[in-house]
Amino acid sequence: MASILAIDSGNSYVKWGMFNHGQWLAQGSVFYDKVPSLRCEFNELLVPEKVVISHVAREITKKQICDLFSNWSVKPLWIHSRFYQCGVTNGYSDPFQLGSDRWAALIAAWQIQQQACLVVNIGTAVTVDALSDNGKYLGGIILPGIQLMLKSLQLGTQIINAGLRKYEDFPVDTNSAIKSGVIHSLVGAIERMYNLLSLQLNHPVVNCIISGGDSTLLLPHIKIPVKAINYLVLEGLVVIAEDHL
């Protein structure tokens, strides 16, 4: 089995992991403007046989990632969504416009679940995507993440220093109302998509697979079946790399 360096370059963070013999040997995450600092960590790695990357953000970040392994002979695989790959059929109106991170997450979820599920990522943005029982991607939604919601309140209202105090069903102070509102809106969207998918399939969805840096803030409040997976996009990148000839 080939050693694989997987890199998930997102809107805010670049996550990476070295995978070999069925397990992660190392994983890490840096803010996008700290990518050059990864050179020291990568120099300590054995040169991988494969490098696979999902990139959805800045062009400058892509160049910085390329610089990290410019002295390696391995040619990186920059993934893009396809009509079909690794058991998943892409139902997007234009299959090639689906973000590579969402595509990799769907492939990972299908590999894990092998049946209908919701695939949720809680990061800078929140995505909630639906897979059918036969692995078809049915579509999904994109919402602002927790920090983007806070920023929009600060920019669009007179609320100053909006913070996250504590969750309450019926909050009685402003900062608790803000945190509770953010959680209600995101959890409500996830649970609504769960119900819609269950109706579409004519049976309850077995699982919602959730990942992302802010997922721990929502997990205690989600009342549908949930399986939390760390670095779901990286998991999907490994599946793609192993399938790629």
pLDDT for the residue 167 = 86
Per CATH, 4-78 and 84-146+160-237 having the same topology is answered yes
Which residue of the set 8, 33, 67, 101 is catalytic?
101
What does R_g of the chain's alpha carbons equal in angstroms?
19
Residue range 59-85: mean pLDDT, rounded: 94
Q: Which amino acid is at 143?
A: L
Task: Match 């998943």 to its residue by tokens.
Answer: 88
Question: Is residue 106 scored above 70 in pLDDT?
Answer: yes
pLDDT for the residue 245 = 64
Confidence of residue 164 (pLDDT cuts 50, 70, 90): low
Instruction: Show me where the domains of the chain are located.
Output: 4-78, 84-146+160-237
b (16+ CB within 10 A) / e for 107-139: bbbbebbeebbbbbbbbbbbbbbbbbeebbbbe
pLDDT for the residue 163 = 59
101 annotated active-site: yes
Note the pLDDT tens digit of each residue in 197-234: 999 999 999 999 999 999 999 999 999 999 999 999 99
pLDDT for the residue 38 = 94
CATH label, 4-78, candidates 3.40.50.10470, 2.30.30.90, 3.30.420.40, 2.120.10.30: 3.30.420.40
Confidence of residue 23 (pLDDT cuts 50, 70, 90): very high
Which architecture, in CATH terms, is 84-146+160-237?
2-Layer Sandwich (3.30)
